[in-house]
Amino acid sequence: MNHYIQLKKSNCKNCYKCIRHCPVKSIRFADHQAHIVKEQCILCGECFVACPQNAKQIRNDVEIVRKLIESGRPVYASVAPAFVANYAGSDIETMEEALKKLGFAGAGETAIGATMIKKQYEEMIQEGKQKIIISSCCHTVNSLIQKYHPEALPYLANVISPMQAHCLKLKEEIPEAYTVFIGPCISKKEEADQYAGIVDCVLTFEELTDWLKENAITVAKSNRKTVGEEGRARLFPVSGGILRSMMIQDAGYDYLAIDGLDKCISALSNIASGNLTNCFIEMSACSGSCIGGPAMGKEHRTPISDYIAVNHYAKETDFDVSSLPKEKLKKNFTYYGHNNQMPGSSAIQEILKKMGKTSSEQELNCGSCGYNTCREKAIAVYQGKADLTMCLPYLKEKAENFSDNIIYNMPNGVIVLNEDLEVQQINRAAKQILNIQNKRDILGAPVVRILNPTAYFEVMTGNRNVHDKRIYLTEYQKYIEETIIYDKTYHIIISIMKDVTEEERYRQQKETISKKSIEITDKVIEKQMRIVQEIASLLGETTAETKIALTNLKETLKNE
């Protein structure tokens, strides 16, 4: 079966944002793309929400529901109470109307199952057998504990989720029915698969919205001023909503509502260290609880109005629902663990060294790679979840060193200027041409200190590069061939200078010799012509041939 969060490879662009947002770093970076490590993922959906390129997508199960409907058996929807926030102005009756148009036999509120579950929590508090009770409604929190915090497993309430309770109730009332949960959560898909026979399929609000649009169906706004007087458990999808729905009496417990995985992880660490005791903890993975779920609609992030919508829809009294047998509401949680082999200190040091970090001062812990510290990144490299190229400072330094080495060792002089004609870079050959001892003497200074800036200004303003222009630098008594390039993208002017002084002097020397040779030839010709005139009668045609030969010699010397 495909993973619940899938990668669109063409969209993944080396940004590491999903790694930065993943609370358990269950992402492996390979082939320049971020792949989810299924066994380590807790399906919080942070990577899905954070991805700027929409490279993550939720597995679409609409086709499965279509087939359930086509089977002929009745299909009933259990709709998470956060629906009033996602579908503004709706109520369960307008939701049911829309779902029936898609082929569902009916729809009910998951809050009915939540009513049964919160009563189980109330009983646990009254019994007082557990010093710490952690709510078990959120499958992502359950997975977090099962995979990464086994020390908290004894405190996880051994109670099924509201989704499971409601679907079991639906199947008790309609034995032949299929049940489909619809909500804002990705991890509920995994929960349904792990506990087969209770929930037959899970759709997110995003999947439902797309399905409704495909069929030109809208969820109507409610025109009813009141929708019954029951529904206190409709508060479940907001932070603190479980506690607000419970009939809590003083049983020696403190009551805490914790939302957001960072806070959950911190609380679990406190539990492990023994700093928390005698408390009931409502724990939700998403910030703001379920109304902050990853599949509320990716662009739907209005926590205040969502909270108000849920708050207004909830009622003061509980749903009048008969509970399921207690044994059906029990749920045992086992330790899953994860396959993260930890390296020793020497292995970490070796990886850090390869990243160019040979001292603690070089460990910038900038987080650009997605990991909080360089050591966490080194551990991920050891575990095969990251590679050295993910370190931005390392790559930047490597690229700079590489380009600096090339430029510095080029036989031609290179000077880089900014648009204010200030020297930004100068290589060794350019220093030699311009008699500069230390580049620090000129870096950041106006180029006019060492060269006439006119040519650079004309290239920049005229937008026409210069190639191999030979000029004489009077101050330095050197001839150069200069190419000037203006890079508008990076706002720099690059001067490439070739020292042609020796070549030019050789040319001038050769020209001087040629001039002298021509002068000598002219004299020879002149002398020969006088002689020729004197003996013209004797030589005849030979005279003309001699003149032509000498003239050709003269032209040859001129050309040289």
Average pLDDT over residues 298-320: 89
**Given a cut of 70, is residue 547 above it in pLDDT?**
no
> Could you tell me the CA-to-CA distances from 286 to 98, 472, 480 in Å, in that order?
28, 71, 67
Work out the end-to-end distance of the chain between its first and last CA atoms, rounded to an integer number of angstroms: 82
Q: Are residues 249 and 161 in the same domain?
A: yes
485 assigned to some structural domain: yes
pLDDT band at 101; cut points 50, 70, 90: very high
pLDDT band at 557; cut points 50, 70, 90: low
- According to the per-residue pLDDT averaged within each range, which of 246-250, 396-400, 439-443 is highest? 439-443
Q: Are residues 301 and 374 in the same domain?
A: no
Among 499, 514, 546, which residue terminates a domain? 499
Q: Are residues 345 and 322 in the same domain?
A: no
What are the pLDDT digits (tens) for 55-85?
A: 999 999 999 999 999 999 999 999 999 999 9
183 assigned to some structural domain: yes
- Say how many C-beta atoms besides its own lie within 10 A of residue 326's C-beta: 10
Q: Compute the distance between CA of residue 330 and CA of residue 158 in angstroms, rounded to an integer.
A: 6
CATH number at 393 reads 1.10.15
540 assigned to some structural domain: yes
Average pLDDT over residues 44-50: 92
Helix H or strand E segment including 511? helix 501-534
Q: Compute the distance between CA of residue 199 and CA of residue 201 in angstroms, rounded to an integer.
A: 6
Q: Are residues 322 and 359 in the same domain?
A: no
Q: What pLDDT sits at residue 1? A: 47
Q: What pLDDT sits at residue 511? A: 83
Tokens of residue 431, six digits: 């220093």
Rounded to the nearest integer, the mean pLDDT of the chain is: 89
**Given a cut of 70, is residue 556 above it in pLDDT?**
no
Q: Are residues 270 and 133 in the same domain?
A: yes
> Domain limits at 346?
341-408
30 assigned to some structural domain: no
| Short-list 517, 470, 466, 513, CA closest to 494 | 466
53 assigned to some structural domain: no
Q: What pLDDT sits at residue 186? A: 96
CATH number at 447 reads 3.30.450.20
Q: Are residues 470 and 508 in the same domain?
A: no
Q: Are residues 253 and 296 in the same domain?
A: yes
> Could you tell me the CA-to-CA distances from 406 to 393, 412, 428, 491 in Å, in that order?
20, 11, 11, 21
**Given a cut of 50, is residue 338 above it in pLDDT?**
yes
**Given a cut of 60, is residue 330 above it in pLDDT?**
yes
Q: Are residues 304 and 279 in the same domain?
A: yes
**Given a cut of 50, is residue 506 above it in pLDDT?**
yes
Q: Are residues 249 and 321 in the same domain?
A: yes
Q: Are residues 427 and 552 in the same domain?
A: no
Q: Compute the distance between CA of residue 385 and CA of residue 395 in angstroms, rounded to an integer.
A: 18
- Say how many C-beta atoms besides its own lie within 10 A of residue 170's C-beta: 25
Q: What is the residue whose two structure tokens read 């908290």?
A: 152
What are the pLDDT digits (tens) for 116-141?
A: 999 999 999 999 999 999 999 999 99
Among 455, 483, 499, which residue terminates a domain? 499
Among 263, 295, 329, which residue terminates a domain? 329
Residues composing the chain: 560
Say which DSSP state 412 is in: S
89 assigned to some structural domain: yes
Q: Are residues 163 and 219 in the same domain?
A: yes
**Given a cut of 80, is residue 555 above it in pLDDT?**
no
What are the pLDDT digits (tens) for 371-421?
A: 888 888 888 888 888 887 777 777 666 666 676 677 778 899 999 999 999
> Could you tell me the CA-to-CA distances from 297 to 148, 205, 401, 479, 507 in Å, in that order?
29, 7, 46, 68, 76
Query: 228 vs 511, which has greater pLDDT?
Result: 511
Q: What pLDDT sits at residue 512? A: 86
215 assigned to some structural domain: yes
Percentage of the chain lying above the pLDDT 70 cut: 91
224 assigned to some structural domain: yes
Q: How far is CA 512 from the centre of its chain?
A: 68
Domain count, the chain: 4
Q: Are residues 158 and 264 in the same domain?
A: yes
Average pLDDT over residues 481-491: 93
**Given a cut of 60, is residue 541 above it in pLDDT?**
no
Average pLDDT over residues 478-494: 93
**Bridge partner residues of 79 (DSSP):** 109, 182
Percentage of the chain lying above the pLDDT 90 cut: 63
**Given a cut of 90, is residue 515 above it in pLDDT?**
no
Average pLDDT over residues 316-341: 90
**Per mean pLDDT, which range of 11-15, 180-184, 279-283, 350-354 is the poorest?**
11-15
